[in-house]
Amino acid sequence: MNSYYISDYGISFFAKVFCDYWPGFVFPLLILLSEIYILKTKDQFWKKIMVYPIIITLLTVLNPIIMYWIVLKMSWSDRYYRFYWLIPVAFILACCITDILSKLKYGWEKLACSVLVVFILFVLGVRFPVDSKADNIYKISNEAIEISEMIHADSPENQMPLVLYDLSLVPVIRQYDASIRSAMDRGECRGLRYFDVNDKVYLDAAEADQSYLIIGNINYEYNIDKIRHDMQKRGIEYFIRNKWWFSNSYVEKLGYQWIGETENYEVYKCLYETGL
């Protein structure tokens, strides 16, 4: 899933998430046809299990009018797609396909129907990306090399820049370039990216003027002024933004200078006002 933020897209955020979660629209169409089939041919038992719950879901958590302010206030942009998990796609399709097959009289009809189902699901359905292996002699992510080159090209006189980057880069960037110092030491890389910002380790970090540890460990748009203050106090010179994290508007408010990007990351030079 790509990361979309409701603060950037407004109400069209829901359309973006829908199109990203259901590429090709094959499965939504199959679900719609299955629901119509159940409504027209099945009794109340089937409808209570596979139709009415879907309708309730569509009218509540998948309703943009209801969910707009909830997603905005609760900062659920990066996880809203999980509400689609409430739709039991495999269960509904399996029940309907099995029921249709049981009604076919001849074996060749059942075989033809089965082949058609396989064709639809595997040829017209979701295509999963295949990760390509690194083509450099270091056998690490090409992006780590590109990021290192961007930073040194921007500031060639700075032999050991202090950089803030998230957990996805921690294992690889210093493996390639040990001159890039991490703003988070090994003990501060908590691996808590899915924990809530109110977890004690983050509350303690903010109180100790280390709030930058929050945006280094989890995808949470913490207070801009506090982040800038603590990053300046720590002397952080570059910020590497994971494109899957943080809205564009949040990054713009940080006020740092964009110097380059790779497929999944953006590199910013941290510019501060004099004094704290």
φ, ψ for residue 195, nearest 5 deg: -80, 160
Query: Do residues 147 and 264 share a domain?
Result: yes
Query: Do residues 212 and 162 share a domain?
Result: yes
Domain span at 39: 6-123
Tell me: pLDDT of 194 over 50. no
pLDDT score of 56: 94
Overall number of domains in the chain = 2
Q: Do residues 6 and 13 lie in contact, with contact meaning Cβ atoms separated by under 8 Å?
A: yes
Q: What is the mean pLDDT of residues 249-268?
A: 84
Q: What is the mean pLDDT of residues 194-203?
A: 56
Confidence category of residue 64, pLDDT binned at 50, 70, 90: very high
Of the candidates 226, 224, 253, 257, the one whose C-alpha atom is nearest the C-alpha of residue 239 is 257
Q: Do residues 246 and 214 lie in contact, with contact meaning Cβ atoms separated by under 8 Å?
A: no
User: Among residues 65, 96, 123, which one ends one of the domains?
Assistant: 123
Q: What are the helix (H) ranges across the chain?
A: 6-9, 13-21, 26-41, 44-50, 52-59, 64-74, 89-103, 107-123, 142-154, 173-176, 200-207, 212-217, 224-234, 248-254
User: How high does pLDDT run on average in the chain?
Assistant: 78
Q: Calculate Rg over the CA atoms of the chain.
A: 24
pLDDT score of 227: 80
Query: Is 162 or 125 the better-scoring residue by pLDDT?
Result: 162
Is 175 domain-assigned? yes
Query: Do residues 95 and 190 share a domain?
Result: no
pLDDT score of 206: 67
pLDDT score of 128: 45
Is 161 domain-assigned? yes
Q: Do residues 255 and 271 lie in contact, with contact meaning Cβ atoms separated by under 8 Å?
A: yes
Query: Do residues 103 and 176 share a domain?
Result: no
Mention every residue, 6+ apart, whose C-beta is less than 8 A from residue 187.
none
Tell me: pLDDT of 55 over 90. yes
Which helix (H) or strand (E) segment holds residue 239: the answer is strand 238-242
Query: Do residues 264 and 151 share a domain?
Result: yes
Query: Is 99 or 175 the better-scoring residue by pLDDT?
Result: 99
Percent of the chain predicted with pLDDT > 70: 79
Confidence category of residue 177, pLDDT binned at 50, 70, 90: confident
pLDDT score of 1: 53
Mention every residue, 6+ apart, whose C-beta is less than 8 A from residue 140.
134, 172, 175, 176
pLDDT score of 22: 84
Query: Do residues 90 and 178 share a domain?
Result: no
Question: Token pair of 144, please?
Answer: 């780590």
Only one residue has tokens 């809203």, namely 80
Query: Do residues 49 and 156 share a domain?
Result: no
Query: Do residues 157 and 265 share a domain?
Result: yes
Tell me: pLDDT of 51 over 80. yes
Query: Do residues 228 and 161 share a domain?
Result: yes
pLDDT score of 190: 55
Report angle CA 191, 244, 11 to the nearest 5 degrees.
Answer: 130
Query: Do residues 108 and 151 share a domain?
Result: no
